């Protein structure tokens, strides 16, 4: 399973989680084995929202072949495109560090995002 977490820095698990998917400067990409143990962790620079637009950021993340995204905030267009493509979107707004967010995810403590959770902007 490949999980993407929008991040503020390229420090992978030690990076602060970004507050919003589309404007995150980095994406922490974690590949898990069948037992949900991380087998690789990388930082990927996100597409620039101001240059690529919302659609460009969505396309960039889709190109990472993610199975799931864990975000603190996401608008309706990316939420709909990801869910329609079969990419699970989870919401977690309380935990500041990427590594800790992933620990909660593996423990089943992160919930799927719903229409009611998307940002309205």
Position 118 scores a pLDDT of: 80
In a domain, 41, yes or no: yes
Report the pLDDT value the prediction gives residue 49, as an integer from 0 to 100: 55
| Domain membership flag for residue 119 | no
> pTM for this structure?
0.92
Instruction: Give the position of tokens 């974690």.
Output: 30
Asked, for residue 118, whether it belongs to a domain, the answer is no
Residue 121 lies in a domain: no
| Residue of 58, 63, 49, 52 lying closest to 2 (CA atoms) | 63
For position 101, which CATH number holds?
3.30.420.130
Query: Which range marks the domain in which residue 68 is found?
Result: 2-113
Q: Give the pLDDT means over successive 10-residue stretches in the chain (121 positions).
A: 97 94 92 97 82 70 96 90 96 96 97 83 58
pLDDT value of position 117: 75
Residue 23 to residues 19, 20, 43, Cα–Cα distance (Å): 8, 6, 15
Q: CB-hemisphere CA count at 13 Å for 6?
A: 27
pLDDT at 13: 97
Nearest to 41 by CA among 103, 110, 86: 103
Residue 42: per-residue pLDDT? 98
Domain count, the chain: 1
**Alpha carbon distance 79, 1 (integer Å):** 19
- The answer to whether residue 120 sits within a structural domain is no
- Rounded CA separation 7/97 (Å): 9
């Amino acid at each position: 399973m490949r999980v993407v977490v929008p991040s503020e820095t390229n420090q992978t698990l030690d990076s602060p989680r970004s507050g919003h998917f589309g404007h995150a400067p980095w994406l922490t990409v974690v590949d898990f084995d069948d037992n949900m143990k991380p087998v690789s962790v990388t930082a990927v620079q996100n597409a620039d929202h101001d240059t690529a637009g919302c659609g460009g950021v969505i396309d960039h993340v889709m190109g990472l072949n993610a199975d799931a995204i864990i975000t603190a905030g996401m608008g309706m267009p990316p939420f709909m495109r990801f869910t329609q493509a079969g990419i699970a979107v989870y919401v977690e707004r309380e935990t500041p560090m990427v590594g800790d967010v992933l620990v909660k995810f593996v423990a089943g403590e992160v919930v799927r995002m719903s229409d009611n959770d998307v940002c309205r902007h």
